[in-house]
Structure 1
Amino acid sequence: MPPSIDMNRFAQLKATGDLPSPRGVALAIIRMTQSDDVSVAELARVIKGDPAFVGRIIKAANGLTGPQRRSVVSVQEALMVLGMPAVRTMALGFSLLSSYRKGACASFDYVRFWSSSLVMALSMQTLVQRLRVVAADEAFSVGLLARIGELAMATVYPVEYGRLLLEIQRNPDRRLLDLE
């Protein structure tokens, strides 16, 4: 049976404002793509505010088009090829990946965390594409965020969580969940 959640600690965690979350252009993209009445032109204008994201979505769109089609070269074309849900998922993923590559918790391996989260996200996306049980972009998001609590703990409680991680390294037979 999982340990009970300390609601005071949970409220404290939420109140800090330090939880991993998208910012800037990525947050605007996520909000806009949740609206039914957003136009491709409006969204493209916002996306153009982040040149790195522009490159990523054009590259992703070109990866989906066949060799017989001409290359996608504009943000609007990329949006049409990828669709709003995929762009929202990409904005979330790239925002979190770029914002939390390192942090205050010395014992937390940020690179390993994101590598495994990305592998899980891609694995879930591939699996549901074959099984057709849920939308692939939703499965990607679930996989990407499945262990986000670990990042939250490392961000909000870097010293305390670092001690727990060191304890796990010294005693591998212990479970992190039990210590948390």
Structure 2
Amino acid sequence: MAGKIRLEDRECPLSATLGIVGEWWTVLILHDCFDGYSRFDDFRANIGLSSSMLTSRLKTLVEGGILERRRYQEHPVRHEYVLTGLGRSLRPVLVVMAAWRNAQLAPAERSMILVDEHTRREIEPVVVDADTGERVDGPGYVYTAGPAAGPQMRKRYEGAGGRSS
């Protein structure tokens, strides 16, 4: 997937992530996986994607280490697609994406909500720093060049002065 990323963006984690999971159908397949679906026919029925397109997307997710293809039937041979650890680590990303959209809607307009499984109370997810528990969506947290940054990434952030746009 790196070939779809502009050369200058290859070391940007946002660009790299979008190169793997940024396609609309891919996000819908992952959503199905998190809802417990793992079989081709279920994905096709739920998403409405053509067989050839679904095959292509599933192949990409397997090659990217997001899903694992496992045989569940011998005659005829059938496979299921199961989230790997890397795939499961994408759940917070999808949760936050759905929450972002729901925040723009009145409660009565939300067709899918995240709830506490036991209390059934709707919850609002936030992204926090693992060490401090502080929210990281405010102006006090900014990106800067990391230790592996190349010249273009360093140039992008030199003199940024804590800009958090």
Common fold, TM-score beyond 0.5? no
Which structure shows the higher helix fraction? 1
* Band of TM-score, shorter chain: under 0.3
TM-score by length of 2: 0.26
Which structure shows the higher strand fraction? 2
Higher relative contact order (CA 8 A, sep 6+): 1
